[in-house]
Structure 1
Amino acid sequence: MTATHRHAGHQPTLVRQQGRHLVVDIHAHMNVAAAEARIRAEMPQLPRGLPFSCPASDAVNARMFAEIGAQLNGVTRRIEDMDRLGIDVQAISPNPGQYYYFAAPELGRELAMTINDAIAQAAASAPVRLVGIGTVPLQDTQMAVSEMRRAVNDCGLRGIEIGTNVGGRDLADPALRPFFAAAEELGVLLFLHPLGFTQAERMSDHYLNNLIGNPLESTLALSHLIFGGVLDSHPGLKICVAHGGGYLPAYHGRMDHAFRARADCRQHIAREPSSYLQQVWFDSLVFDRSQLDYLVARYGADHVCMGSDYPFDMAEPDPVGFLSQLPEAARAQVLGLNAARLLNLMVGVEV
């Protein structure tokens, strides 16, 4: 069987299906040590990835990164874990701490190229099990477009991971429009993933800048994409939002009311804001089955993709089992068919 969507720059990739349904993890990360070493050499005093934290959370994170180093930085343990979890294919995207949007543009481009080459190499080492999602230097839109084209056309990557803001600039910033236009033209997936909330002064304790901050950042970014007119101007964009899309998919009524009641909430859009949510996809990383059921019922089983957040401690420990209560047809879509279409995969059944 096949599930394809042809990108401009490359042919579908053949991947392996072992069981009854194709299982694709659209939300799994890889760290590229060479890029990390390069940025530390250039900027010894790096900005903190999560600047609003506390000593207790910092200590837990230090232990976690020490424990998951082999999984986060390599392939061998990753494949073993995929076999254990029943996952056929992982779409590996950069560790969100490696966006490096704060770097000077030329350095940002060099780092993005290093990361994309490494992810492409990792995918090539297990070509029926791993596919790559890259990064681009969004601090310079022209460079970002150029690197996206290289990553897709030359490196064979299946998508681009983007942050929820670019050095504090929201994604609806007019300077970023050529990037979204190019992504729409290429037909390439954009995987929207946050890295804490930017104004989280009250979220330092209890890891709240991740627990609350990450979905809040996605909520804000998605709201800017809607109200700023990006999704209206580029209806062909393929965007998958991590962590179930944040809070917006479950609380869209308020913004629809504002659209009807206030002129300042319909400056760049012609219809109710919630209608634009039908244009995006959400991963299944919500941890609560009733919330998963809501996403599937409200937005359709064809707009939810299985995601685990491997290999972090905030990952879903049983991403396949988490979907077990879905009806058979919906489960097949969420487990892998949707991701196969978004990532341009051709599926072969093992005998």
Structure 2
Amino acid sequence: MSPGLIDVHAHFLPDFYVQQATAAGHAHPDGMGGWPTWSVEAHLDLMDRGGIETAMLSMSSPGVHFGDDMAARLLARRVNEFAAGLARDHPGRFGNFASLPLPDVDGALEEIGFAFDTLAADGVALLTHTHGVYLGDERLEPVFAELDRRRAVVFLHPTSPVGWEHSALGRPRAMTEYFFDTARSVTDLLMAGVLTRHPNLRVIVPHCGGALPVLADRIDEFMRLFLPGQQPPAPDGVQQLRGLYYDTAGTAFPRQVPALLNLVAPDHVLFGSDYCWTPPPLADAHLAAIDAAESPVEGTTWRSLTTANAERLFPGRAR
């Protein structure tokens, strides 16, 4: 298959991470039945079968911070070195979105420096919140300032929201709560002015934006009501949302991508498989749906379109 896809939403699960997360109380992460199996060989097999040239690896929920700052720093360093090793051992096949030990800001700043300057990370992965600290929280300002200085790619990933014990109604939080927490956290970024203060950030929102496409006009209206007379005037909410990138992980077709394209231009859509949290049969089915769908840009396929978009976002990945 050609061209080879660049998968911006791909996860890895080394055994040491699963053991540590399980010991911290995450035997059923986000209400799922358990941890999926993952290996380098199985991941490469899926990539080869699906025509995926490069997978940008990231750590999914519940992240690396289980309550202790020092332990989180050590675990972040270990998973980041592991992913960098995969990229080194398999040239061109794997990239790396580094994990940060948030909400430990000092630890996160230290890891940003190490990830970019020593490990040559392609970006960072941030959960929608860590222990209730959402992304618009003023405590995170030094982190976003540093990421802006580096013109970093920031890959967002949802996690169980605060209060999930009541809101999830006993169902897996990945089903709907992920989408709502994505909308909550991105809205927080807009309302707090993070994106206007740090215009060099290049943010990837997962799962076709979750609930954002249908909420965009409502968010914009409330921003006008609650942020009038802001100096300098902030771009409207819809304009800010249009400046973000969105991946197709999950059930992108037949309904999510059309909704997304009512918000953003096709040049801001990227491919995502969500493997290994999406099992191989479903990942194969999602790829088949993408291949069967008509591209919104004449003369392209969804493969060629999303790959060209990713190559502009990651110039080092261009062939």
Aligned pair partner of 1:253 in 217, 223, 231: 217
Aligned to 1:82: 47
Residue 11 of structure 2 aligns to a residue in which SS?
Answer: strand
Determine the structure 2 residue equivalent to 1:31: 13
Partner residue of 2:288? 321
Amino acid at match of 2:206: A
Q: CA deviation at 1:33?
A: 2.2
- The answer (yes or no) to whether the contact 2:126–2:157 under 8 Å persists in 1 is yes
SS of residue in 2 equivalent to 1:124: helix
- The match for 2:252 is 287
Residue of structure 2 in register with 1:11 after alignment? none
The C-alpha deviation readout for 1:170-220, integer Å capped at 9, x for no partner, is: 11111101111111111221110012222221423342x221100000000
Aligned to 2:97: 133
1:343 aligns with 2:314: yes
Output the CA distance in 1 between the equivalents of 2:287 and 2:135: 32
Which structure ranks higher in relative contact order (CA pairs < 8 Å, sequence separation ≥ 6)? 1
In structure 2, runs of 5+ residues without a counterpart are none
Instruction: Tell me what 1:231 maps to.
Output: 195
Read off the aligned partner of 1:94 and give its amino acid letter. M
- Give the structure-2-normalised TM-score: 0.88
Structure 1, unmatched stretches of 5+, are 1-18
Deviation at 1:333, TM superposition (A): 5.5
The answer to whether residue 125 in structure 2 is matched with residue 154 in structure 1 is no
Shift in Å, 1:223: 0.2
More moved, 121-130 vs 283-292: 283-292
Q: Choose which of 223, 226, 232 in structure 2 pairs with 1:263.
A: 226
CA contact (8 A) 1:306 1:336 kept: yes
Cα distance change, pair 308–191 in 1 and its aligned pair in 2 (3 A): same
Instruction: Name the amino acid aligned to 1:114.
Output: R
- Paired with 2:43 and 2:112, the residues of 1 have a C-alpha distance of 26
Provide Cα deviations, 1:54-81, integer angstroms capped at 9, x if missing partner: xxxx5xx23xx3xx41xx2x21111111
- Whether 2:285 is the aligned partner of 1:303: answer no
- Following superposition, the deviation at residue 50 of structure 1 comes to 4.5
1:208-219 counterparts in 2 under 5 A? 209-219=173-183
How far has the Cα of 1:272 moved from its partner?
Answer: 1.9
Paired with 1:256 and 1:169, the residues of 2 have a C-alpha distance of: 23
CA shift at 1:148, angstroms? 1.3
1:287-310 CA distances to partner (integer Å, 9 max, x unpaired)?
323431332353111111001110
What is the rounded CA distance, in whole Å, between the counterparts of 1:253 and 1:121 in structure 2?
Answer: 43
Moved more, 316-325 or 115-124: 316-325
- Sequence identity of aligned pairs in percent? 23
Give distance in 2, aligned partners of 1:45 and 1:291.
35
Q: CA RMSD in A?
A: 2.4
Aligned residues: 310
Give, in whole Å, the separation in 1 of the partners of 2:9 and 2:277. Answer: 11
If the length of structure 1 is used for normalisation, what is the TM-score? 0.80
Q: Residues 333, 300 of structure 1: CA spacing in aligned structure 2 closer, same or farther, 3 A cutoff? A: farther
One-letter amino acid matched to 1:21: P
Structure 1 residues 224 and 265: CA distance shift in structure 2, 3 A: farther
Kept after mapping to 2: 8 A contact 1:323/1:335 = no
Distance 2:6 2:27 in 1: 31
Secondary structure (helix, strand or coil) at the match of 1:299 reads coil
SS of residue paired to 1:90: strand
Which secondary structure state, in structure 2, belongs to the residue aligned with residue 177 of structure 1?
Answer: helix
Between 30-39 and 172-181, report the one with greater CA deviation. Answer: 30-39
Q: Give yes or no for the alignment of 1:166 onto 2:130.
A: yes
Mapped contact 2:208–2:252 kept (Cα < 8 A): no
